[in-house]
Amino acid sequence: MSKQFDVVVIGGGPGGYIAAIRAAQLGMNVACIDEWKNEKGGPAPGGTCTNVGCIPSKALLQSSEHFEHANKHFAEHGIDVKGVSMDVARMVARKDAVVKQNNDGILYLFKKNKVSFFHGRGSFVKAAEGGYELKVSGAAEETLVAKQVIVATGSNARALPGTPFDEENILSNDGALRIGAVPKKLGLIGSGVIGLEMGSVWRRLGAEVTILEGLPTFLGAVDEQIAKEAKKAFDRQGLKIELGVKVGEIKSGKKGVSIAYTNAKGEAQTLDVDKLIVSIGRVPNTIGLNAEAVGLKLDERGAIVVDDDCKTSLPGVWAVGDVVRGPMLAHKAEEEGVAVAERIAGQHGHVNFNTIPWVIYTSPEIAWVGRTEQQLKADGVAYKAGTFPFLANGRARALGDTTGMVKFLADAKTDEILGVHIVGPMASELISEAVVAMEFKASAEDIARICHAHPSLSEATKEAALAVDKRTLNF
Report, as residue numbers or ranges, the catalytic residues: 454
53 contacts 369 by C-beta, under 8 angstroms: no
Instruction: Give the containing element (helix H, strand E) for 68.
Output: helix 54-68
322 contacts 351 by C-beta, under 8 angstroms: no
Q: What burial class does residue 450 get, using C-beta atoms within 10 Å of its C-beta: 0-12 exposed, 13-18 middle, 19+ buried?
A: middle
Instruction: In whole angstroms, give the CA distance from residue 147 to residue 130.
Output: 6
- List, in order, residues 6 or more apart from 376 with CB less than 8 Å away: 383, 409, 418, 419
Burial of 155-176, coded b for 16+ CB within 10 Å and e otherwise, reads bbbeebeebebeeebbbbbbbb
6 contacts 28 by C-beta, under 8 angstroms: yes
Instruction: In whole angstroms, give the CA distance from residue 98 to residue 44.
Output: 12
- List, in order, residues 6 or more apart from 188 with CB less than 8 Å away: 195, 198, 199, 209, 210, 211, 212, 276, 277, 278, 279
CA dihedral 160, 162, 166, 167 (to 10 degrees): 0
Q: Look at residues 29, 318, 310, 13 and name the one whose alpha carbon lies nearest to residue 145.
A: 29
Helix (H, G, I), strand (E, B) or coil at 168: coil
Instruction: In whole angstroms, give the CA distance from residue 128 to residue 198.
Output: 46
Instruction: In whole angstroms, give the CA distance from residue 334 to residue 329.
Output: 9
Position 192, amino acid: G
